[in-house]
Structure 1
Amino acid sequence: MPYFERPVARARQAKATELVERLVAEGRVRHAEPNDDEVAEWRRVVYYAKRHGVER
């Protein structure tokens, strides 16, 4: 199965798309007091968006 069809990749794609849409609509995205796991996940999402050219 190609990477982009795996469940983790699909979930990251969805989160990256949501993040970009929020950035376009709101100008910035802030998370109040995220824990270490949330910070790590959002970093993965941002890196995914950069690597795969997720933009609107």
Structure 2
Amino acid sequence: MVHRLVEPFLSLFRKLPLQFGGFDFTVLVALLVLNVLNQLLGQLFLQLIG
């Protein structure tokens, strides 16, 4: 079930060359992008209500 939820998002990053030395950094990059988006949206929200 989790696979069905996250695969559409991860598929966006699987198109990028994120495999180095036998390691796949797709999930790491996806989590970093989510973190940055979370911070940006949080700042935007604070500016809108503040």
TM-score, normalised by the number of residues in structure 1 = 0.39
Whichever of the two has the greater Rg, that structure is: 2
TM-score by length of 2: 0.43
Q: Which has the higher contact order (CA 8 A, sep 6+)?
A: 1
Larger strand percent: 2
